[in-house]
Structure 1
Amino acid sequence: MFASGAWSRSCTPAAQEVHEAEGRHPEPTAGIIDAQSVKAAGSVPASSRNIDGGRKVNGRKRLIVVDCLGLLLAVMVTVVNVTDREAGGALLARLRKRYFRLMLVWADDGYTG
């Protein structure tokens, strides 16, 4: 369901309705990106997890982009040793293809460079 894009297609109309109810354009113009390292369960294959040296977490990293209302725009899950900058660049490129009006995305220092 996630890889096929069905989840995204089902959420988009609801998000557009929320934007319109708030008196906004249905498409977001700004967003916020952040990443979180999370411990992986023992059943998660070693090939899809790693150690985040800075946070001492053996698991995965999830990157999330929300709009200014806090509505989910995009999610990406990677191994934790992929930098925020690398994964964020890929996620933002994917996001740009979907949200043409998105002009500004706030991020912390993990995405600089």
Structure 2
Amino acid sequence: MKTTPEHNKRVAEMKFFSVWPHYVTKVEKKGRTIEELYQVIEWLTGFNQKKIKEFIDEKITFQTFFERANLNPNAHLIKGVICGYRIEEIDNPLTKKARYLDKLIDELARGRKMEKILRE
């Protein structure tokens, strides 16, 4: 399934702060901690808890979020289907990065071991 230009635009303009509470709810509902959520995001982007909180306060878009990120060199190992899209087939770099994040959070919520999530 290929993403459309409209879909890619919607991902780029999505505000990180508006999605953050959903991430927190998703992982905590499944018995994981917010500290683990921060760990997963830091592994993918290089952003620590303080920086993530700054981004939430700034109300940045996903485009800005990923422009500022230093993506983990092992991010390409994140594979599978998320939100109806096979990550390996997404051609838009920003949308692919956003789906990497979605996939990691989904794996965390599903109880996957942290060393597997972090591709160690």
State TM-score, norm by structure 1: 0.26
In terms of fraction of residues, the more strand-rich structure is: 1
TM-score normalised by structure 2 residue count: 0.25
Please say which structure displays the higher CA radius of gyration.
1
Flag the structure with higher helix content: 2
